[in-house]
Amino acid sequence: MAEAKQPLIDPWRIIIHPLLTEKALSEIETQNKIVFIVNRKSNKNQIRWAVEKALEVKVDKIKTMIDTKGRKKAIIKLTKDFNVGEIATRFGML
């Protein structure tokens, strides 16, 4: 089975911005997860590619949902080798 090729696009066209809420901040501190608002048409494989490419990390798990405002949220858990706190600091979230 051939591996699907990723399109040669800017990962920031998939990742729109990080979500900064109390719940998102508690997930950063306790569960090594970070929350992004992503392009509504993107799938989990595209989100994984964009996050790994843009942030230079390895993604363990992704959960996606559409919130009440119609935005697509991606809750991204990183592997144990990476600390979400450092990434959140880069974005000015912590």
pLDDT value for 3: 53
Look at residue 55 in the predicted model and tell me its pLDDT: 93
Q: Which helix (H) or strand (E) holds 33?
A: strand 33-38
Which residues have C-beta within 8 Å of that of residue 82, sequence separation ≥ 6? 32, 57, 58
- Grouped pLDDT means (10 residues each) for the chain, 94 residues: 62 93 92 96 96 95 96 96 90 79
Nearest Cα neighbor of 10 from 68, 59, 49, 62 is 49
Place of tokens 């919130």: 67
pLDDT at residue 59 in the model: 96
pLDDT of 92: 83
Model pLDDT, residue 91 = 81
* Residues 6+ away with beta carbon under 8 Å from 52: 58, 59
The pLDDT score that the predictor gives to residue 7 is 56
Element spanning 16, H or E: strand 15-18
Residue ranges of domains in the chain: 12-90
Please tell me the predicted confidence (pLDDT) of residue 38: 97
Amino acid at 34: I
* Unique residue bearing structure tokens 């000015």: 92
CATH number at 12-90: 3.30.70.330
